[in-house]
Amino acid sequence: MHVPDHAKSAIKVAINPDTDTFWKADYLYYDQYTLKEMEVRHSYGKLKNASMADKITRMNYDIHIGAIAGLPGKILAFLASLIAASLPITGFLIWRGRKKKKASQE
């Protein structure tokens, strides 16, 4: 639940039936004065009203953390990020090795 931050904001409630992912959540908006439900026309509304493009947009975070495929997806995302994080280090070590090699040959 998100309380409004100014006088024209709505109260936002997120209801997620699946605790492992975030994209399946229904987002409901209520007028802060009358508590009547407000219809929204963007990707973060009710899941049943979302188009395929909206659903893919909503999956962005889940894809990046690997939650889409469950535990194997999280492990795969971890390994991919570990490899990506090691690339600058291994690149530096290769560059440093070449520099030392050239210095010893002279």
Per-residue pLDDT of the chain (106 residues; tens, 9 = 90+): 998 999 999 999 999 999 889 999 999 999 999 999 999 988 999 999 999 999 999 999 999 999 999 999 999 999 999 999 999 999 999 999 887 777 676 6
Q: What is residue 39's predicted lDDT score, i.e. its pLDDT?
A: 92
pLDDT computed for residue 106 by the predictor: 63
pLDDT at 19: 87
Measured between alpha carbons, how far is 72 from 74 in angstroms, rounded to an integer?
5
| pLDDT at residue number 98 | 86
Cβ neighbours of residue 44 closer than 8 Å, sequence gap 6 or more: 27, 58
| Spatial CA neighbour of 12 closest among 33, 47, 37, 41 | 37
Phi/psi of residue 66, each to 5°?
80, 10
Task: Tell me how far apart the alpha carbons of residues 7 and 9 are, in angstroms, rounded to a whole number.
Answer: 6
Please state whether the predicted TM-score (pTM) of the whole model is above 0.75.
Answer: no
Q: What secondary structure letter does DSSP report for 12?
A: E
Question: What pLDDT score does 31 carry?
Answer: 95
Its sign, for the CA torsion 95, 101, 104, 105, is negative
